[in-house]
Amino acid sequence: MNAVIWRPIVALLALVIALTSSYSPSFPSKRDRPKLGRRGFILAPALLAPFVLPEPSHGLVKGVAPPPSSKPKGEKLKCKTIDECEALQEANIAKERAEMADIKVATVNGIKYVDLEEGAGKEVDSGSTVQVRFKVLKAGKRSYDGLSGEGTVVFSDGYGLEDNEKPDSFFEYKVTSVQTPSDVVETFISGVSGMKEGGVRRVEVQPQKGWEKKSTECDGGPGGKGNGGEVKTDMMIVPTAKMVQEEMCFDKKLLPFPKSYAQERRMAQRFDQALILEIGLIKVL
């Protein structure tokens, strides 16, 4: 029988027995009956408690389980002093360099690149129209050669990393000669030279071959010959002068260009730095 049904019945019976037992005619003296009646009232709650009190709750609480510990129990720290930690860091860097030693770094039109994946389709020629997906990255601290290691994405297309970016989108442009005027960033034109469909390549982006305007005033930063966009102004407010420098040297007419304001601001802060272009060749038309 269901506990919800039998528990009240048993409780009622216990109460009746406790109250009526004191008035049983078998008791020899009427003088003792009131005492037993009082005992019945005292005994009744004790008898009712196991049947009236609710059962313990066993509800299932939904939620996210805590993440497992990243370190096994009992694992000791790899370094305890500053010298030990510095030595460990140097060993890790040496290990990464040894792993990158097998990757061939080549140069095209003065730009370093490394092929992460070799393509097997149609090869890019001068005059070809290509469809690519790409990520513009800020090099990480361990990128000793400007191409290796992890990087922070500044802006991208075709990877679905931003809310306004579709994962199946691409950037299409024509591969012309470097000497031919074009509205496409020079690194995109030189960087796909010799690639085949399906290939993935990392290319260094020098500011002068990226989104920096080609002028002596703006030709600063890595590989530059100018003063890096120093602006003469009567105003002594440094942040204002910095904004003027960005607006003066950041070429917003070159393609590809960030599609959102957040991407544009990130690019405006880094266009005069050495960046990494990770480009995947989708199709050669």
Cβ proximity of 131 and 206 under 8 Å: no
User: Three-class SS string for 69-123?
Assistant: CCCCCCCCCCCCCHHHHHHHHHHHHHHHHHHHCCCCEEEECCEEEEEEECCCCCE
Arithmetic mean of pLDDT, 34-52? 56
Range in 71-75, 150-154, 178-182, 244-248 the model is least confident about? 71-75
What mean pLDDT do residues 93-103 have? 65
What is the distance of C-alpha 124 from the center of its chain?
33
**What pLDDT is recorded for position 230?**
44
Give the distance, in angstroms, between the CA of residue 144 and the centroid of all CA atoms in the same chain: 23
Considering the domain 105-212+250-284, what is its CATH architecture?
Roll (3.10)
d(CA 230, CA 17): 101
- The three-state secondary structure class of 23 is helix
Q: What sign does the CA torsion over 107, 192, 213, 155 have?
A: negative
Q: What is the pLDDT of residues 109-158, one digit of tens each?
A: 888 999 999 999 999 998 899 999 999 999 876 666 778 777 889 999 99
For the chain, the average pLDDT equals 74
Residue 66: pLDDT band (50, 70, 90) is low
pLDDT at 121: 92
Report the distance separating Cα 196 and Cα 283, nearest Å: 8
Q: Tell me, what's the pLDDT at 62? A: 55
Domain range list for the chain: 3-52, 105-212+250-284
Q: Which has the closest alpha carbon to 282: 111, 127, 138, 167? A: 167
Task: Please give the pLDDT value at position 166.
Answer: 79
Identify the burial level of 81 via C-beta atoms within 10 angstroms of its C-beta, where 0-12 means exposed, 13-18 middle and 19 or more buried: exposed
Query: Is residue 22 predicted with pLDDT exceeding 70?
Result: no
Q: Compute the distance between CA of residue 101 and CA of residue 209 in angstroms, rounded to an integer.
A: 26
pLDDT higher at 133 or 89: 133
Three-state SS at 133: strand
Among the residue ranges 65-79, 90-104, 251-265, the one predicted with the least confidence is 65-79
DSSP, collapsed to helix, strand or coil, labels residue 227 as: coil
> Per-residue pLDDT tens for 189-244?
999 999 999 999 999 998 889 999 888 777 655 555 555 444 433 434 444 445 44
| Closest by CA position to 257, among listed 241, 245, 268, 249 | 268
8 prior amide bond cis, ω within 30: no
Look at 8 and 190; give whichever has higher pLDDT.
190
Q: Locate all alpha helices (DSSP H) within the chain, ordered by sequence.
A: 3-20, 33-52, 82-100, 186-191, 238-249, 261-270
Whether the predicted model's global pTM rises above the 0.95 cut: no
More confident residue, 72 or 262: 262
Are 39 and 47 contacting, i.e. CB atoms less than 8 angstroms apart? no
